[in-house]
Each structure stands twice: as C-alpha cells, then as structure tokens.
Structure 1
Amino acid sequence: MTDATRRRPSLFARRSWGETSRISAILRRETVGGALLLVGALLALVWSNSPWSDGYESLRDFRFGPASLHLDLSLATWAADGLLAIFFFVAGLELKREFVAGDLRDPRRAAVPVAAAVGGVVVPALIYTAIAAGAGGGAARGWAIPTATDIAFALAVLAVIGRFLPSALRTFLLTLAVVDDLLAIVIIAVFYTTDLSVVPLLGALVPLVIFGLLVQRRVRSWWLLLPLAAVTWVLVHESGVHATVAGVLLAFTVPVIRSESAGGPDAGPGLAEHFEHRFRPVSAGIAVPIFAFLSAGVTVGGLAGLVTSLTDRVALGIVVGLLLGKPIGIMAATWLVSRFTRADLDEGLNWLDVLGLSLLGGIGFTVSLLIGELAFGLGSERDDHVKVAVLTGSLLSALLATVILRARSRFYRRVHEIEQIDRDRDGVPDVFETPTEGTAGR
C-alpha cells in the first residue's frame, strides 16, 4: 500500500474516544425514549380502535389555557406546540454541540452526514410530489411529511438489531438525524408559517436576548430562565411561526464551552451539556411519548379502512417516500461525497451497512406526524391517512433494516469481541489511541 493510499480520506472513520463515549451515553438514553414512544403510539392505536374510541377523541380535543393570549388550545395541540418545543430544545443543544465542540466541527467529517441528511430530504420530497400530483385538496402541502427521521424510534430499533455494529455507524445515524431535525425546523418555519405577525416575533427577541445573556454568564437559576423561555415561546406562538422553533432559538444561545474569561475551552463544558443532561430525559421520557400518544391514534377501520387510506395518493407518496426515497437519497448523497472526495469506507465496513442505516432513516414518526397536522389540519380525514401512511412506511423501513443490519451485526460480533480484549489499563481501546513517537512500532 502506498503512502498516498494511506492518506486517502475515510468515510465513517472512528471518532475520538471521548466523543464515542459521549455518543454512546446519548444512544442509551434515546433508546429508552424510543421504547416509550413506541408504547405511547401502540396505546393510542389500541384505544382509538376500541369500543371506547370516543373517550380518546374527547381527551385529545379537551381544551384549556388563557384565551386572552390565544392559548386556549386542545390537549393534542399543547403536546405538538408545547411539549415538542422541549424536544427541539434538546435537538438544538445537540446540534450546536456537534458543530462547535464535537468531532463534526471538522468540515471533512461533517460533510458526509450533512450531505446524507440533505439527500434524505430532497429525494423523498420529490417522490411524494410526483405521486401526489393531481390528487387535489391541497395534497401538495404534504411534501415535507416523508422527509423527517425519528431519532428516538430509529435508535431504539438500532439498539435491538445492531448491538455489535461499529460505533462510527451509530454516530453517523445520530448526526444524520440531528441535521435532519434542523432541516425539519427550517421547513416548518419557512413553509408552514401561514400568517406571520412581525410585532410578536420581534418582541420574542427581548426575552430571547436576556435568556442568552444569562446563560452566557452561566446562570442556571430556573426561576429566571424558565419564565424567559416561556415568554419567548408564547411570543413565537403568537407570531404564527410554529412554537417549537422557540426551543431551537433558545438552545442556540446556550454556550457549549466555557468562555475564555472562565478558563478557555480546556476549562470544561459550558451550560449546553448541563441542560442536555437535565432536559433529555424530559424530552425522551415525557414530551415525545405523550405527543405520540395524542397524535398516533387513528381509527383504521379494519383491512378495508387500511386499504382505503393507503390508496390515497398522499398516503402512497408518504409510504414510498419513506421506504424508498429516504434510503435512495441518503445512499446517493453518501456515494457522491465519496466520489468527489475520493474517500473510501473505513476498513471493515460495507455499503450494506450504509443501506441498512439508510433504511432506518425511513422511520419517520414524531416530526412527520407534526408536519402532517400542519399540512392538513389535526383530525381531518387526510390527516388520518397521513398517520396510517407514516406508521406503515416506518414499520416497513424498520423491518427491511432489521433484515440487513441483523446479518451485519452477526459479522461485527467477532470484531467487537476482539476489541473488548484489546484494552489497556486506562480502559480506552487501543484502536482509539494514536501512537506517539515513543510508542510507535512497539
């Protein structure tokens, strides 16, 4: 092997040991959240298709809140606008962490998951648009539904079927899903804002700036920060922009590393890590499962009702977009990056691994359901078709990914067992350590 070959860039190369450890901790928490999300969705489906389905509808449509602030909302809307703001706050923290202090601050490493996420948005949108064209009834508004990847659901499936897959693949899926969330936020803010009120939106800058100044000074007092966050959320909601965007804006103000006055980056992490530890369990364990419970309930009506729902062009576009569009977009973008950068897959990896992860990208749940509600209205007939389609496309994607990744996981099991043996006294596998001048060649 020549020196030039050795220097060729590598796709899905190992991250640093510290970054790998941090990602592993996140994956464990998201896996639990994915299991709770699945439980919430199943409960909603069972209840909404039982003789007591009227009770589910009554619960979802129960309204409360101050009407003077235009916050007299249904319980389902509170979950979509309020609880998901916590989910997007955590996603914003993770996104900022990745690009400020994570391994993805290196543009060469960021290129692959970013390109894959973009491809995984563009191709499903094009497929949906082609299939839903001419369907009428504003069908075109649902183009963004199959573009989202549900991070908790996908990671939960990966945890069950791919326990021995290399950590670099898991990191790739997590990063892709985080960038996917960012794209979803932009799509929601730009394309699903119908009536924009500039005054409340400008007013939201006041509590947002104060919140940012406080967190930059490492203020953690909840009695100061939570009211400011709540006011920001209310004003963004009042402006017509979807209220979950407020969660992302707040997250972007939180420092990832300590300021130079506090000792520089080497002095330790900023508040972002602290807030992530605090709010990720709330997001994964409470906010997302409750949203799933209040959004996934749809009366299928037996096999005939299922067929009727899936023959709607909107539903068909969603299923095909998730099942085919997502993996095609992710695979194509990854391949193009490898071609333009002349990068090879990391040693031992196979394009089947990328295909399996790309199929997991077709598990669209939380954000897909949210966009479906924004596009067609909560409780509408077409929204019910969206729910059936999202559940069907996500289930089929998960099943196909299971077939591929379980086979690959068995292959990597032997590699994993070797790496478990190859550990030093410091607990860091040798593969994560760079030989120094004094140890090289030993």
Structure 2
Amino acid sequence: MNSVIAFIVIFGALVFFHELGHFVFAKRAGILCREFAIGMGPKVLAFKRNETQYTLRLLPIGGYVRMAGEDAELMELKPGFRAGLIMGQDEKVEKVVLNNKDRYPDLRVIEVAEADLEKELYIKGYEEGEETLQRFELSEKAVFIEDGVETQIAPWNRQFNSKKLYQRFLTIFAGPAMNFVLAFIVLSIIGMSAGIPVDRAVLGDIVPDDPADQAGLEKGDEVIAISGEEISSWADLTGIVSESPGEELTIDVQRGDESLSFNVTPEERTFEQGEETISQGIIGVYNPRIESPSIFQSIQYGAEQTYFWTVTIFDLLGDLITGQFSIDALAGPVGIYKSTEEVAKAGIYQLMQWGAILSINLGIMNLLPLPALDGGRLLFFGFEALRGKPIDRQKEGMVHFVGFALLMLLMIVVTWNDIQRYFL
C-alpha cells in the first residue's frame, strides 16, 4: 500500500507541475483554460473556479490543460435554431439556453437567423410572434447551457491560436520547464535536509549489520588504501568496492591518530539492466556530507545535481539512438512503479531523489521533437517562425495524431516488456 501511495504522489506531483507550467503561461497570455486535469479517464473529483474546471481523474497516467482553440470549438448556432436568451444588466446576452427552456423563466426565445460567436459576438434572430430581425450583443463571458451543462464561449482573442508566436511557444515550453524547476527544488531540499555529499574518502553513516559494520569500520574513518591501492576520493573507494563482490579487501584507514586495517568482504547485490544482470559489491557505508549546509550551498547542490542528471539522461538517449542501449531496458508505468517500490524501501530522501530524476526525465522526453509531444509542437512553431505563417492546422493535426498512435504502440510494447520482466 505504501508503494502505491508513493507512486501516486510522485507521479501526481510530476504531472501537476508540468500542467501548472502550461496553465500559468496560458492564463498570462489571456487564453481561456476550460479544464485543468490531473489523471485521465472518468472524473473522481471536480470543482469550478472562475472560468476553469479543476478535475481529478481516475487513472494516474497523465493530465492536461484544455485550452480554447486547441481543438475546433463545438458551439455553434445555425440558422433555424431556437434558443433562449438570458440578458444581463448591460443588455448583453449572458446565457444561451439550447434545450429544456421551460426550466428557465423570463427567457427571450428567438429563432436564430445568424450568429458570430468568435469575432463580433452577436446573435441575430426573430423573437416569437415578431417579424422584425433583431441583433443581440453577446457578453465575452457568455455561456451556452445544454442539458444543464454550462460551456463558456471562446472569443477569438481568448483562443490559443490567436496569440502571438512567442506566447504560444512559452505556453507549451513552460510544461517541460516546470519539471526541471521541480527537480531543482526537490534536490535543493534534499541537500538542505540530508546534507550535501562530498567526494572525500571518508566514511559517512554505517549501515548496521552490513559488512563495514561487522568488520569494525566507523563513521569518520578516512580510507587511505584498499588492498594496497591508494585511495584519494569517494569515487575511488566505491569503484573498487563495487567491482569486488565476494572478494576480501583490506581497507587501511586513519582514525584520529591511529592507522588501522580491516578485512572486509563486499556483499554481492544484483540488479537488472535490460536483459543483463549486473553484479555489484557493497559494504554498507554512505559518503560523507556537509551537515547543515547554507541555503546557497543547497541551491548550488540542487543546480549541480539537476545538470548532472540531465546530462546523464541525454547520454542514455544517445546510447538508445546508436543501439548501445536496448529498447527492452525502457520502463513504462509498470516498470516505474516497481522501481518506486524498491526505492521507497531505502528511505524518504532516496524516494525524493528518484522523484526528481523522474521529473527531469519527463521534462526531457516532452522536449523531444516528436509529434504529439510538447517538443513536436515547439518544432512546428519553429517552422512557423521560418515560413512567416503557421502550418495548415489539419496537416499538423494529422502529424500529431500519427505520432500519438506510434507513441501509444511504443507504450504498449514497453508495458508488455515490464509485465514479462516482473510478473511472468
């Protein structure tokens, strides 16, 4: 149960911050945001504030901000429609009732002759019993009511595609960017709370009953040499230990004024990397840390770690493209859940770091110039900047549709590999 909660909290936080980036910059650009959703599928919880409906949905596998104009606006009033109008104090139409008109008293029922719901915002029609064509002005926030459901109209100046290129670019780019911001914040908090690791060959905390503890090593011991090989950094120490599972090592340390030697046999741990099983030695020690670092040190640590993991993930992508990294090693939702389950056992700071790495990964994946991803949309904005006019929306939509279908196919393959790896 704890693993399920950890997975939902982490994945929910990643999606929330990603969509929050889109949402904030869309609102700043004046775009009408119809819905801010966390999760996919049926609604579990929903409430509306101002113009936006906020929803929590059943499946924790994504989220979205539904912006006016991204898809074709479905509201229309064709000639011959009968509609009920509710007027505001400024004599502009505030509500247009399409059916069940008997539920609303004091309606002005008209037969529509003409309507413009985007540019000039008006409805022309004939009231019951009248032969004179009348023009009714629409409020910019007028709503349509159909089967009791209210939908706000989207004037052209409130639609996504009406905005300047830089505004649309920032709105889309802000989603992945917020994933990097989230990772930076989390990693900075880890540095501030748990201390900042330093690359010194000094033992930090010792894991009880692990090989180092059983051999008599203590926190603060400075490692001078391992089996005759001089040690000058934490990387040197971990490199030798990890490559020596099951082999007895002689560790020479300086403890205060004493020079001591201990025989330690690293315990063998294995983990899966794609189809390959990797064996690694551990002795149960943590690296030394700067205790109670300053805010500046913590921020610097957060920035350095964000950069490190960004470069590491890009390197892995490069290996995937060149064939050095098998597609079988990719993880889908099932694989991420299983990894989260393992990391959760190691403690809260390891879980927070794992969440930060996933956030960076999500940001990078979304910036890839692939159809249906944020990066694909940014690529089309680049084409628009070069051409001086946007790509035909139907053609762009078809490209994104095909890209989405291929991504779903990849997700199915990766998820099936996860199921085979962990359950079959």
Q: TM-score higher than 0.5 here? A: no
| Higher helix proportion (structure 1 or 2) | 1
What is the TM-score with the length of structure 1 in the denominator?
0.27
| Higher strand proportion (structure 1 or 2) | 2
What is the TM-score with the length of structure 2 in the denominator?
0.28
